[in-house]
Amino acid sequence: MAAANRDAFWAPSSKVNPDLARERESATFDVRELTHIIDGSPDRTKRRKELENLLYSEPVFRDVGRLSMERDEIYEQGVLKSIKLFEWSRKYKWDDDDFELASRLANHDISMSLQHAMFIPAIERLASDTQKAKWLPRALHYEMIGTYAQTELGHGTNLMELETTATFDPERNEFIMNSPTVTSMKWWPGALGKSSNTAIVLAQLIVKGKNHGLHPFLVPLRSMEDHTPLPGISVGDIGPKMALNCIDNGFLIMKNVRIPRENMFMKNAEVTRDGRFISRGVDKANYATMVLVRVKITRWAFESLSDGATTAVRYSVVRRQSSLKPGERELQVLDYQSQQYKVLPALAASYAFLMTNRSLHRLYDSVHADIMAGNTKLLAELHCQSSALKAYMSEVVVQLLELCRQACGGHGYLASSGIGLLCASSAPLVTVEGENSVLYQQAARYLMKQVAKAVVGDPVASGFQYLLTQSSSDRPDIRIQNLADCGNLDTLLQVYQRMAFSVVTGAARKLQMAIESGVEQHVAWNNNMVSLIQAARFYALHGIAKEAGYFLATPTLTPDQFELVRAAELQAMAKVRHDAVPLVDAFDLHDICLHSALGCYDGNVYERLYALAQTSSLNKTQVHPAYYKHIRGLVKDGQKQLRQQSKL
């Protein structure tokens, strides 16, 4: 789309859809005040606006062209956006919060997103002080452009079986990096294919023939002069994906690549000059970067879901379709109870996920500070919480975004709705940084340990006190006798704790019985995996309604109480429906960030759909070249055959 049209497209219109305007006039709260809470403070709102002005004054961040771009153009635009953010970050000395916020305003359409998402954080967490002094300036000034290369073609989850090797050569005081098999090539790391000149490579450390397990190594990939791959390095893009195609996820094969001994990250372990292996701190400390990204993913879950909820809610009040009573005006589709049931859980979950991410981030910051000071006591609890919440929130986001798409009817299937791209770009959140089934089990593993402690009366971790309170014989009955009781958050918390206690201890009992029956531990674990994963999952009324089985099959709710919860849920939806538009307006998403013809602030959906249709590459000419090449011949032949038939 030409620049002038592009600017016209995004300019907010003074003409606001009347239905949308009316919804805003009837807000029952101060939207701006809620925006400040969502941003974190009035100052953070102000900061966000400053960064919006900075980014959206740049053509590359305003482009609507991405709907019909070729992959190379998408990649190059993502590189350009990355470099803009890097230049501004250096020029204005952005902190991590500013960089994360700018990245979000760019929809994470950043080819070299791993530089700040993993490469720099890994150096900060896994390098010795001497290595940090050497490598951080080169990473922060973008001489080193990096990635985090752990996953291989043959293994992603099971880190113990990763095959890349780093063999110490005492003669030359070097490590020799190798990809010994086809399945050992690194596969998937972001920005590895074409952008990065350096990688943090996770490899099995071999010293004097002994394997000392997985350790991180800094491996130069490409010349700092002309970006050509260095000797022994074979690297490239793994091909187009469902979305996130600005990112050059790549492959890496190393054949006898030599790196200095000093390139092994040495905060948690080292190999001395004379070939002695020394381990420091806990061996899982090298997994610290993965824990950080899992926490980030809970933030991305909120961002994706609030985008989807904003589009679906605004479109659902603009779209009028069918009437409840013949002859009456067509209804705003959000007035259908079924539409509320599709769309409002995404709105509710957006707010719940925002608060959950903040709570998890506080835990992370506290535990990370302890770990940096050598105290790893709470690492296991952080691992459990980050694993369970990353898994649960990414799972729910994928489900609810698809419902938001369905709620937008046919137009939700258009790229210009933005919601299809949102579904596709959020889809990998259930896989990256630990596939969900695997992470749920990590949480379940920790839960089983807490149950074992609770059973013998030992103290349990702070987040699991319900295992003690719910087990006591004098625990109070669940007080749900009317609709009002269903709005009592303490009561709802008690319901969840009661159910969780039953499901978690039930899973533990099944596991224990299997083991006591003589089944080996790992077989018993696999045979009870679904129960263990369920024990690691569970939000308020909708969560109860959606998971009815667990609340009714355990001594938690009676059928009558469950019916009260269902009625309360529908009542709550009708109430939230009244404020649905102000509640999404409070996310205060700029139209460029939302990138949706259905979700734009002014609600002029039809004009924008038509305007974006003009950008379709098929509309470059009135008659497409395919007519002259193929269709014309078909029509002429048809005419010829009809003439011949008419003569018969």
Ligand X SMILES: CC/C=C\C/C=C\C/C=C\CCCC(=O)SCCNC(=O)CCNC(=O)[C@H](O)C(C)(C)COP(=O)(O)OP(=O)(O)OC[C@H]1O[C@@H](n2cnc3c(N)ncnc32)[C@H](O)[C@@H]1OP(=O)(O)O
Ligand Y SMILES: Cc1cc2nc3c(=O)[nH]c(=O)nc-3n(C[C@H](O)[C@H](O)[C@H](O)COP(=O)(O)OP(=O)(O)OC[C@H]3O[C@@H](n4cnc5c(N)ncnc54)[C@H](O)[C@@H]3O)c2cc1C
How many beta carbons lie within 10 A of that of residue 97, not counting itself?
11
Count Cβ neighbours within 10 Å for each residue of 398-435 and write b for 16 or more, e otherwise: bebbbebbebbeebbebebbbbbbbbebbbbbbebbbe
Picked from ligand X, ligand Y, none, the partner binding residue 569 (CB below 5 to 8 A depending on kind) is none
Shortest Cβ 165–ligand X spacing (Å): 18
The reply to whether 433 belongs to the active site is yes
In whole angstroms, give the CA distance from residue 498 to residue 502: 6
Binding ligand Y (rule: CB under 6 A), the pick from 150, 184, 357, 494 is: 150
Structure tokens at 135: 């490598």
Tell me, residue by residue from 327 to 366, as one string, x for binding to ligand X by CB under 6 A and - for no binding: ----------------------------------------
* Residue 162, CA atoms < 13 Å, CB-side half-sphere: 25
Of 433, 547, 569, 607, the catalytic one is 433
13 by Cβ neighbours in 10 Å (0-12 / 13-18 / 19+) ranks as middle
Q: Judged by CB under 6 A, does residue 432 bind ligand X? A: yes
- 412 belongs to the binding site for ligand X (CB under 6 A): no
* 292 or 480: CB nearest ligand Y: 292
CA angle centred on 29, ends 487 and 581, rounded to 5°: 90
Subset of residues 75 to 114 that bind ligand Y, contact rule: CB under 6 A:
114
In whole angstroms, the minimum distance from the beta carbon of 433 to ligand Y comes to 6
> Does residue 603 contact residue 19 with C-beta atoms inside 8 Å?
yes
d(CA 612, CA 633): 31
Q: Which two tokens stand for residue 5?
A: 């049209």
CA atoms within 13 A on the CB side of 180: 10
The reply to whether 101 sits near ligand X by the rule CB under 6 A is no
Sequential DSSP letters for 1-25: --HHHHHHHHSPPS---HHHHHHHH
Among residues 41, 157, 181, 375, the one that binds ligand Y under rule CB under 6 A: 157
Residue from 428, 543, 582, 599 in contact with ligand Y (CB under 6 A):
428
SS3 233: strand
Task: Mark residues 439-458: x for contact with ligand X by CB under 6 A, - for none.
Answer: ---x--x-------------
> Is there a contact between 436 and 430 (Cβ–Cβ < 8 Å)?
yes
The reply to whether 148 sits near ligand Y by the rule CB under 6 A is: yes
Q: Given the complex with ligand X, which of 235 and 295 has the nearer CB atom?
A: 295
Please pick, from the candidates 148, 351, 364, 392, the single residue that binds ligand X as defined by CB under 6 A.
148
In terms of CB distance, is 20 or 432 closer to ligand X? 432
Write out the H or E segment, with its range, that includes residue 257: strand 257-260
Q: Give the shortest CB-509-to-ligand Y separation in angstroms.
A: 21
At closest approach, how far in Å is the CB of 290 from ligand Y?
Answer: 9
Q: Does 244 bind ligand Y (CB under 6 A)?
A: yes
Return the sign of the alpha-carbon dihedral for residues 630, 632, 635, 637: negative
Contacted entry of ligand Y, ligand X, none for residue 501, CB cut-off 5 to 8 Å set by kind = none
Told to check if 151 binds ligand Y by CB under 6 A, we report: yes
The closest of 280, 283, 261 to 272, measured between CA atoms, is 261
Q: Which segment (170-178, 425-433, 461-469, 547-555) binds ligand Y by CB under 6 A?
A: 425-433
31 binds ligand Y (CB under 6 A): no
CA distance 122 to 170: 27
Point out the residues that are catalytic. 433
User: Which residues contact ligand X by CB under 6 A?
Assistant: 108, 117, 148, 150-151, 157-160, 190, 244, 284, 287, 290-291, 293, 300, 304, 379-380, 383, 425-426, 428, 432-434, 438, 442, 445
User: Which residues contact ligand Y by CB under 6 A?
Assistant: 114, 148-151, 155-157, 188-190, 244, 249, 428, 431-432, 434-435, 437-438
